[in-house]
Amino acid sequence: MNLQPLADRVIVKPPVAQTHTESGLIVQQVDRDDLQFVEVVAVGPDVSEFGVGDQVLVMESQSIDLIYENSKYWSYHDNQIIAVKE
């Protein structure tokens, strides 16, 4: 990714929303307050607790939505990251 966040910003790739099951059932839209694990794709220079490639737990409703090179990303301050998956 050619986008470098500043200061304590973290950019993550949101999960792909599944709209149908393999058998064809429609999956309901999830609430925007749901907690989700996402992959970190870029970190600012002030971020030291996790890095690119880590899976982190975030609340989707706190994100800033970004579109960069036709892909969707979410941006957070590092203190909005709830946990890191080990």
Per-residue pLDDT of the chain (86 residues; tens, 9 = 90+): 789 999 999 999 998 766 667 787 776 665 545 789 999 999 999 999 999 999 999 998 899 999 999 999 999 999 999 999 98
The pTM assigned to this predicted structure is: 0.82
What pLDDT score was predicted for residue 33? 53
- Record the tokens describing residue 20, joined without a space: 């149908």
Instruction: Kindly tell me the sign of the dihedral angle through the C-alpha atoms of 37, 73, 46, 62.
Output: negative
Instruction: Give the bridge partners for 68, in sequence order.
Output: 71
Chain-centroid distance, C-alpha 51:
13
Q: Does domain 1-16+33-86 have CATH number 2.60.40.10?
A: no
Q: What is the residue type of 66?
A: L
